[in-house]
Copies of this chain bind each other. A is one copy, B any other.
Amino acid sequence: MTPTGERVRQAALELFAERGFHGTGIRQLAERAGVSSASLYHYMGTKEDLLVALMTSSLERLVDDAEAAVAGSDDPVGQLGALVRMHVTAHAARPLETRVGDHEVEALSPPAREVVVALRDRYEQVWQRVLAEGQAAGVLDLEHPALARRALLEMCSGVARWFDPAGPLSLAGLADHYVALACRLLGVSRATRRGGADISAERRWILFSAGLR
């Protein structure tokens, strides 16, 4: 992308996060990006095109990162830990992107919404698969898997609303704490204790750092 295109994109991200999609005017966008209203269309197409581009690139990155996180391990507990770490880090480090992604789906027209919702579903399916495999392997203890997945994702996404990078907690420390909370929420220690199964070094490390063994 050209430097001007990148500036337009950044201005849209900030304004959509601050004022919402409907609350952002073309003139405001042009002013924030330092271009004329007349030339804006050249860089962005319609305002909705810009929202779609922001949302799809953010979701595609999440899908890619989730698939990479899962590919790095064949232990469901290890995969869960990697997913939580990735999701929390992404939401804490890029809060504007995730705020726009979470709040503005309903601002999209039906064809664009379909594309965005399909990507979001792909992302959630990665989580769903890991939870189902963990449940099947007896290392997670889920009474209501779909509800637990939603609760977990909302808990982790919430860091975008309060994490302060200038505060006392580092991003890595934050992610560690959330891996521990996720293990508790999904009954990891109880299930692994009960199963008495062969425990990988990686899972032992997650349980240890989560204070669960």
Chain A residues within 8 Å of B, Cβ to Cβ = 18-24, 102-103, 106-107, 143-144, 147-148, 150-155, 157-159, 161-162, 169, 174, 177-178, 180-181, 184-185, 187, 211
Contact = CB atoms under 8 A, between A and B. Distances in A.
Contacts of A18: 106
Contacts of A178: 151
B147 A169 contact: yes
Contact of A143 (B150, B154, B180): B180
Interface centre among A21, A24, A107, A155 (most CB of B within 10 A): A155
A92 to B, nearest CB: 12
A212 to B, nearest CB: 9
Main secondary structure of the interface of A (DSSP, over half): helix
A147 B177 contact: yes
Contact of A181 (B148, B177, B180): B148
Given A151-B181, A157-B154, A185-B184, A143 B20 contact: no
B151 A155 contact: yes
A106 B152 CA distance: 26
A165 B57 CA distance: 32
A166 to B, nearest CB: 16
A144 B178 CA distance: 11
A177 B143 contact: yes
Closest 5 pairs between A and B when the two form their complex, measured CB to CB: A154-B158, A22-B23, A20-B20, A155-B155, A23-B23
A98 to B, nearest CB: 12
Considering residues A22, A103, A150, A153, which has the most beta carbons from chain B within 10 angstroms of its beta carbon? A22
Nearest to A152: B155
A174 B184 CA distance: 19
A162 B151 CA distance: 10
